[in-house]
Amino acid sequence: MRSQVQTGLRGEHAAEQGLLLVADDNEMNRDLLARRLSRRGFTVVTAADGQEALDRIAEQPFDLILLDIMMPRVDGMEVLSRVREKIAASDLPIIMATAKSETQDIVRALEMGANDYVTKPLDFQVVLARVETQLSLKRAREELKSAHARMKADLEAAARVQQALLPVDLPSIPGASCAWRYRACDELAGDALNIFQVDDRHLCIYILDVSGHGVPASLLSVSVTRSLTLHADRSSLVRVPRDDGAGFRVAGAAEVASRLNVIYPMAGGSAGLYFTLCYGILDLATNRFTFVCAGHPGPVLLRSDGAAKSITNPAMPIGMFADAKYEETAVDLLPGDRLYLYSDGLTEETSPSGEEFGVTRLQAAIVQRQRLSLDENLDTLISDLTAWHGNDSFSDDITIAALEIHNH
């Protein structure tokens, strides 16, 4: 006897209950089970043997299969095997029907990918409970999969926003050059950087590092980056109106840090997060670099003669304490000098044995490659770190920004 389609509740409700395939060579069992399931609102298709079941499965997608083991032509085990070659148990639940005495068949079927089993003679209430359980699990997995897909799409969109805020066209400055490298450890990063001219005389360069990872850190990173962006009306935290109202002036590094500390308190709108910041202004007329390090590693200064040192003047991270004070440090750069700002993900990355890369090793790598161009130098730093760690799946965001002074 060929398969039949039986429906209980018509229209949307029946579709919501699920489309079932009942495969059994016993006509009475097959039709009785199909009728009782259809009365419960399921749409039911029947098959009289294994080959017919495979044909029905090829014709349309089912929500669940009730599959007898003992059938002519192709038995239930073969049907199960062929289905599982193409469709996972999470996508198409299969409940096997077998005699109570066939324990080995039950074990084998479960090992081959069956989701559950019922024993003959069938108790309809047990069958119905197991069908509803498997369909509920399937729908829950589908909802989770859909939510995961939406979240992945949202994360990718957020990551594109972050990427869009990275410097694209570096300023062309007579007497100086800049470079940067940025490696996020996850889809969303807590690090951010920028290099841009504030006006004809001043170059701004900074790196910030938000505590934690994921969406909250990314949102704060983007928000702070926007606060440090020059706006169309020429105002921002970086460039503020002059007291006399005659245009704008470049805000000092300590002034910027203090204002950020007010805007982003850890206990307020920043969701309990804080961030570290190395923020500096290069005076292009004098080559004096004035900066502040708020909980952030101090920059590495490489002199033209090969001497390298870290310049530190530590202060509290931004947002941690409302009354935090920030002081500026100034360094006069000479032709051939280089300055490297970096996030602590670089120096705290570990080798397979757990040893950190460290500041000393960073300085040595910078000195060793000082004859390379600034871009090549940063590439080799990333390569050195990858070799040290063993792969490029870093445990934290890696950010480096560097500038070099040339002869005018």
Q: What angle do CA 216, 217, 223 make, to 5 degrees?
A: 90
* In a shared domain, residues 226 and 134: no
Contact yes or no for 157/164 (Cβ under 8 A): no
* In a shared domain, residues 33 and 178: no
Single residue among 109, 144, 179 that ends a domain in this structure: 144
* In a shared domain, residues 125 and 181: no
d(CA 254, CA 326): 5
* In a shared domain, residues 50 and 88: yes
Residue written as token pair 């990333």: 382
Q: Is residue 180 situated within a structural domain?
A: yes
* In a shared domain, residues 191 and 289: yes
Q: Is residue 153 situated within a structural domain?
A: no
Q: Is residue 111 situated within a structural domain?
A: yes
Q: What residues have CB less than 8 Å from 326, skipping those under 6 apart?
A: 253, 254, 257, 258, 261, 292, 294, 315
Q: Which amino acid, 127?
A: V
Task: Determine the 3-state secondary structure of 367 from DSSP.
Answer: helix
* In a shared domain, residues 275 and 399: yes
Residue written as token pair 């990275």: 166
* In a shared domain, residues 126 and 180: no
H helix count then E strand count, the chain = 11, 19
Supply the DSSP string of 266-285, one letter for each residue: TTTTTTT--EEEEEEEEETT
Q: Is residue 159 situated within a structural domain?
A: no
CATH number for the domain spanning 306: value is 3.60.40.10
Residue written as token pair 């702070």: 224
Structure tokens at 260: 């950020």
* In a shared domain, residues 184 and 324: yes
Q: Is residue 315 situated within a structural domain?
A: yes
Supply the DSSP string of 100-126, one letter for each residue: TT-HHHHHHHHHHT--EEEEESP-HHH
**Strands 116-120, 176-183: pairing kind:** unpaired
> How crowded is residue 395: how many other Cβ atoms within 10 Å of its Cβ?
12
Q: How do residues 108-149 score in pLDDT, each as one tens digit?
A: 999 999 999 999 889 999 999 999 999 999 999 988 888 888
Single residue among 96, 113, 144 that ends a domain in this structure: 144
Q: What residues have CB less than 8 Å from 331, skipping those under 6 apart?
A: 288, 289, 291, 301, 311, 339
Single residue among 93, 113, 144 that ends a domain in this structure: 144
Q: Please report how many Cα atoms fall inside a 13 Å half-sphere around the Cα of residue 368, on the Cβ side.
A: 10
* In a shared domain, residues 54 and 175: no
Q: What are phi and psi of 24, to 5 degrees?
A: -155, 135
Task: Determine the 3-state secondary structure of 47 from DSSP.
Answer: strand
Domain that holds residue 225: 165-405
Q: Is residue 156 situated within a structural domain?
A: no
* In a shared domain, residues 183 and 135: no
Q: How many domains does the chain have?
A: 2
* In a shared domain, residues 317 and 183: yes
Beta bridge partners of 156: none
pLDDT at 236: 79
d(CA 294, CA 318): 6
Q: Which amino acid, 390?
A: G
**Would you say how long the chain is, in residues?**
408
* In a shared domain, residues 173 and 32: no
d(CA 196, CA 353): 39
Q: Is residue 231 situated within a structural domain?
A: yes
CATH number for the domain spanning 88: value is 3.40.50.2300
pLDDT at 267: 47
Name residues of the chain where pLDDT drops below 70.
1-16, 100, 155, 187-188, 232-235, 267-271, 408
Residue written as token pair 């050059």: 177
**Residue 311: DSSP 8-state:** -
Contact yes or no for 16/9 (Cβ under 8 A): no
Q: Is residue 276 situated within a structural domain?
A: yes
